[in-house]
Structure 1
């Protein structure tokens, strides 16, 4: 083993050889490496002695590679490219999470379930800036392609990584005043007697709905139709009618009431999507890790795959969840 080690060319010597081959002469290579010409000359001579070959043909016009030198040059060129790639990849992993990260997130998820926890992220990483595209103004798009997407749709094409980060359990909700005024809804058929606030995007993952739930969506008295989650929540809060909302809404609107007589809809997966190479960047990785933490079902049971009844995560569980979240 010791003999093999002695026969191996030194990395620093190969770097000098590469510089001479690229520059075509000792003096130019010495300037590029910030070394003396005598040091460069001695390094090349030692390398040739070690390899027992002549790497350069010397002439008054400069230095040119011999056949052995050309072979060595091609090998060292591959090594240089590998080193450059390694430096870029590892450098990204170790870099500080600074700069802008663009998110694409549905407006309700962004407004109700992500924004309240933004202070945690920005305090932990003061060099980060966020661009949050909720898709509400197609004629005023935010610059750049989204680097992280949170979506109810799983992508099926492209070089993308998609993982479920939360399960949204949709149930029927009303305001407490509405229930006090009109009474409890004691079965799915009673939903047809009440004004319904309908979000037009509430069609994702319908394959998990029962036939009865699909029929109810068609037959309900849609008093309000909207593409805004904020409109749905505010309409329900103000007693206009009932709507299906994720049980997670109680973490930010604890005065709403889940209607016990209407069975919850099967959960919908919330996906985090990004290009395969994206999380090599420290800034994107920091935001991705933060997103996973705020949708962690261990501290926020409303995001678990199994249905957890709101009475089992009655607030102040929210305060406890925030206290457990990473700073």
Structure 2
């Protein structure tokens, strides 16, 4: 048996579906099924218990999976270490991020990424859902939050500052916003997600916090759309600095509370690089992590 067959077995064990694995590998489901059947014949054991609706590992399959995952990890690491000495990273690199972060921060980096790593196939999976990294074969995720939980490895990419922004046109036509509590007089643009609170919290330089129970008649599930509405003069909204830095520099948007830090609402404290917990970090992941950290040092996210 070869390493490709073993990896296919691990994928089937994780996905519990020949069809799903076939789509992942661009193969026919019958080819995947035949490969697993041939592996079972070669080993002389049944790895999966199949029914018309379900497919589960047998006890022998569980034991074999545990051993093979470790073996494949060691083999992949040996290959990656050899490549790190003599070659550029190769293979596929699957990265996931939110739609807004991916479009505004990762996509602009693709020309430089291709130039530095010409032999690396890059796949960007942009979604606002927090997907399972292992089940979706994700090598690296960019996630926003105060902290990262779960069986993953996380390293901070940068601290994320959030601002209450509005267009100059809007500010000229409406009552002034000189203090956080003034926002309750305005129809704010609100983000709609299950975990978001409309009680924005502003912290002054002295540490005093002011809760702003904001309200509004435009509620959207996309921060990109909120940014567009704010630029269109529809009201104040809460956005990350990495998203609006260019708008602030051009004057299209204004930070209406420059002397306050926003710590509540949907403000997220940091951007994190997250990857599945493994004994060894693959070389291709390591070089991309280093590349993104270097880009942050050069001020990329603030452009």
Is the aligned partner of 1:275 residue 2:285?
A: no
Which ranges of structure 1 fall in alignment gaps of 5 or more residues?
Answer: 1-82, 304-317, 319-327
Alpha-carbon distance between aligned partners in 2 of 1:209 and 1:276, rounded to the nearest angstrom: 36
Confirm or deny: 8 A CA contact 2:97 2:143 kept in the other structure: yes
Alpha-carbon distance between aligned partners in 2 of 1:111 and 1:169, rounded to the nearest angstrom: 19
1:178: which partner in 2?
A: 170
Alpha-carbon distance between aligned partners in 1 of 2:245 and 2:279, rounded to the nearest angstrom: 31
Length-normalised TM-score, structure 1: 0.55
Which ranges of structure 2 fall in alignment gaps of 5 or more residues?
Answer: 1-73
Confirm or deny: 8 A CA contact 1:147 1:274 kept in the other structure: yes
Q: Please tell me the root mean square deviation across aligned C-alpha atoms, in Å.
A: 3.6
**Larger helix fraction of residues:** 1
Would the alpha carbon gap of residues 155 and 85 (structure 1) be closer, same or farther in structure 2, given more than 3 Å must change?
same
Alpha-carbon distance between aligned partners in 2 of 1:161 and 1:295, rounded to the nearest angstrom: 19
Alpha-carbon distance between aligned partners in 2 of 1:278 and 1:240, rounded to the nearest angstrom: 50
Alpha-carbon distance between aligned partners in 1 of 2:148 and 2:174, rounded to the nearest angstrom: 42
> What CA deviation, in whole Å up to 9, does each residue of 1:1-43 have, x standing for no partner?
xxxxxxxxxxxxxxxxxxxxxxxxxxxxxxxxxxxxxxxxxxx
Counterpart of 1:236 (choices 199, 209, 230) is 230
Confirm or deny: 8 A CA contact 1:176 1:256 kept in the other structure: yes
2:256: which partner in 1?
A: 259
Alpha-carbon distance between aligned partners in 2 of 1:98 and 1:84, rounded to the nearest angstrom: 15
Is the aligned partner of 1:294 residue 2:295?
A: yes
1:277, distance to aligned residue in structure 2 (A): 3.9
Q: Count how many residue pairs are aligned between Structure 1 and Structure 2.
A: 213
Length-normalised TM-score, structure 2: 0.59
1:112, distance to aligned residue in structure 2 (A): 1.8
> What CA deviation, in whole Å up to 9, does each residue of 1:39-65 have, x standing for no partner?
xxxxxxxxxxxxxxxxxxxxxxxxxxx
Larger Rg computed on CA atoms: 1
**Larger strand fraction of residues:** 2
Counterpart of 2:216 (choices 206, 222, 225) is 222
Alpha-carbon distance between aligned partners in 1 of 2:90 and 2:221, rounded to the nearest angstrom: 34
Alpha-carbon distance between aligned partners in 2 of 1:96 and 1:85, rounded to the nearest angstrom: 15
1:35: which partner in 2?
A: none
